[in-house]
Amino acid sequence: MSFLPLVRQHLVTSGQMGRTGEVHSDRTGDVTTDERHTTMSEQNTTGFSYSVSREIAAPVARVWQAYTNAAEWPAWFGAVEGTVEIDVRAGGPWKATLGLPDGGQFPLSGEFREVVEGERIVLTMDVPGAEAEVMAVHFAANGAGSKVTLSQTCATQEAHDQAREGSEMILAGLAAHCEA
């Protein structure tokens, strides 16, 4: 079961995303994606890859703080207050419970595989009944602001499309929070 439709509904309900998928924000940064759709002949041996980037009008130190501080996750990730536990170091676990618009909750968990402070995080997300998904998050200075890039390789085109959409939502929430 993918949690992305639930995240989309949360963002629509909270006003951060329109019903057709456009992101609402007063920020100056835009999401860019690899709009290329991978065909079977282009598929590499590890799956379907994507990267999405967003310019955020906040310094890298601020964006890094928001991403690595459990107390800030509810504001940008949609996590339920008091459910976020993160140990931001290689091998450290993370878990959060996503609050759903209908009052339900969806638990998420994973592990930090690589952490280079202020530059890069590689983490997993546990997926029931499947191998853990791995995502890389890169933080870079961009003028007075930041550029954050999320990258992932998925086993199927459907998983690729859902993960890319989820990454765009994560970046939209992070930008809105850091630019507030």
Answer for the pair 70, 83: CB distance below 8 angstroms, yes or no.
no
Instruction: Return d(Cα 122, Cα 6) in angstroms, integer.
Output: 24
Neighbour count for residue 57 (Cβ, 10 Å): 17
Q: Which two tokens stand for residue 173?
A: 């929430």
pLDDT at 59: 98
Q: Which two tokens stand for residue 90?
A: 């290689």
Q: Which two tokens stand for residue 132?
A: 């853990």
**Along the 180 residues of the chain, how does pLDDT read in single tens digits?**
344 444 544 444 444 444 444 443 333 344 444 433 332 223 334 689 999 999 999 999 999 999 999 999 999 999 999 999 999 999 999 999 988 888 899 899 999 999 999 999 999 998 777 788 899 999 999 999 999 999 999 888 998 898 899 899 999 999 999 999
pLDDT at 106: 86
Q: Which residue has the tokens 């456009």?
A: 22
Q: Which residue has the tokens 């990258």?
A: 151
Closest CA to 16 of 83, 101, 123, 82: 101
pLDDT at 159: 87
End-to-end CA, the chain: 33
pLDDT at 29: 41
The reported pTM is 0.76
